[in-house]
Amino acid sequence: MEDSAIREGFENLRPGADYDGLHQAALCRAKADWLVGINATRLFSVLYRRTLNIGRVMSPTLALIVQREAEIEAFQPEPFFTVALELPGFTAVGARMKDKTAAKELQTACRGGSAVVKQAQRKEKSEKPPALYDLTTLQRDANRLLGFTAQQTLDYLQNLYEKKLCTYPRTDSRYLTSDMAEGLPVLVNLTANAMPFRKGIAIVCNPEAVINDKKVTDHHAVIPTRNLQGADLSGLPAGEKAVLELVAARLLCAVAEPYCYEETSVTVECAGTEFAVKGRTVKHPGWRKLDAAYHAGLKNAPEPEGGPEEKTLPELSEGQSLPVSNASVKEGKTSPPKHFTEDTLLSAMENAGKEDMPDTAERKGLGTPATRAGILEKLASTGFLERKKSKKTVQLMPSRDARSLITVLPEQLQSPLLTAEWEYRLGEIERGELSPEEFLSGIYAMLRELAATYQVVKGTEYLFSPPREAVGRCPRCGGDVTESQKGFFCQSETCRFAIWKDSKWWSAKKKQPTKAIVAALLKDGRARLTGCYSEKTGKTYDADVLLEDTGEYVNFKLDFGQRKGGS
């Protein structure tokens, strides 16, 4: 933000009371998120005997990933066939056909014949430069082009912000304010001079392409700062430098001239069937020249997005007859949906449930630019989300427990509709049309109903983790005793029998109960221990350990029998 805008803001301060509604709405959102998270997490963790983190944003995000995986697994590829005609100067392709025999027959009918031009159109088209970066679009491109996770990109950008090389990172705007227009050409020029990829390319600055006060709320788009001038960028860590170059490239592209081209669409007819082809001739590269120069400096990056490469078609006129030099049949298969990457998942989160949210809603989609990276990291750290490297991308896969959780979770907790409903009512609070108490009372009622009516889904006893191998029978109730990380426990819900691995009795002897030892204790009431440590002598000894269960406490006793000498 420029100094003039700050001064203007102080000169036109509004009463704090004007923002009471905004404050109440934000407070209600925070309270409701906490209430849903802590109550639903406890409810499902207790019912399914495993820590299951539930959240208004986290759970619908996980549902998106699980749903995509289900779509991929259910997908059945279908073969299709296309007939291609080799014509003077270009190849025209027909529509997809399911029947191979019909495709072969069409190939035979076209081979050696002629095609008649039914339509030949040329249109002048232009493509506007891309908008500046907000945090989410920056994270998406950094994932696609640089392989960074959303959290890594945010961390690098935060460091650049603290070094005063980039503006505030956590923004949802892709535009600048009008007070920045005057100084923008200077910023663009010094940014261009600091970036090696733009050498030899003329720089243009069209401020009107990126200035829009109505689309800037709290913070404007992410751009470099004037501190680039004279800064030693070679000393930056590799990740920070890569993100800075990405932000700089977007600024230079956003204010550049449009990409202009001529598109040619041709339709020909042969053997009663239409075949089509499109061509493109670049008239003015505009911003795409800068974009291509930036991409050329990246390693293993995908090609720039944006339509076909230049392909010039010959001059044709309707009714013209063209000889068919060859006709071929190409076989293909329909493709399943693609696994989510952080790029595509961030896009899905940003757009989830938008159609159900009011136009006046302050926030749309799942999460905010500032929270989405943290949501993905929490899903990964809790074991619900797995990152799997595949060729040039890292795919996001749901774990077994993630699938299980979405299976048992009520629709209201895994659907973006809950967020849509909240945002509508929070908007009413902001405008003074709904009291915070009324909103929160609805949250309380929803959670009470959930706790009172939800029942464990039948047949899901072992849904979240495979059944553990029984070490032996419980001496109290006869149930299975299984091993976990901290000890051996009876699996009966009403039984408290436990042998802890880190109990003082075992620790004093520098021993820990193993599966074999516990199995012997449960079967015979005693087990042989070797190499026990004596706190009195500092030596080791061998003995039998006896299990003595009072029904309330589990005790152990040593039986030396014929004791052998220590070592």
Instruction: In whole angstroms, give the CA distance from residue 102 to residue 77.
Output: 20
DSSP 490: E
- Distance, CA of 202 to CA of 229 (rounded, Å): 19
Tokens representing 398? 């749901």
Tokens of 527: 């087990």
Cα end-to-end distance, the chain, whole Å: 76
| Residue of 352, 474, 344 whose CA lies nearest to 414 | 352
Query: SS3 string of 37-89?
Result: HHHHHHHHHHHHCCCCCCCCCHHHHHHHHHHHHHHHHHCCCCEEEEEEEEECC
Nearest 5°: the CA angle 524, 526, 528 is: 125
424 is catalytic: no
- How far from the centroid of its chain's Cα atoms is residue 558's Cα? 56
Residue type, 92: A
**Residue of 282, 312, 296, 310 whose CA lies nearest to 127:** 282
- Tracing tokens 């449960």 back to the chain, one arrives at 522
Residues with Cβ within 8 Å of 221's Cβ and at least 6 positions away in sequence, in order, are: 131, 132, 133, 134, 167, 171, 173, 174, 175, 176, 210
Residue 25: what are its φ and ψ, rounded to 5°?
A: -65, -45
Q: Give the total residue count for the chain.
A: 567
The single residue of 19, 48, 161, 168 carrying the catalytic annotation is 168
- Nearest CA-CA partner of 542 in 563, 525, 526: 563
Six-digit token string for 230: 């004279």
CA distance 253 to 130: 7
**With the C-alpha atoms ordered 374, 376, 377, 378, is the resulting torsion angle positive or negative?**
positive
The structure tokens 């800075």 sit at 244
Classify the phi-psi angles of 16: left when phi > 0, otherwise alpha if psi is within -120 to 50, otherwise beta. alpha
Q: Which two tokens stand for residue 159?
A: 């460091």
Tokens 């693609």 identify what position?
338
Asked if residue 341 lies in contact with residue 142, where contact means CB atoms within 8 angstroms, the answer is: no
Q: How far apart are CA 192 and CA 84, in angstroms?
A: 45
- Which positions are annotated as active-site residues? 168
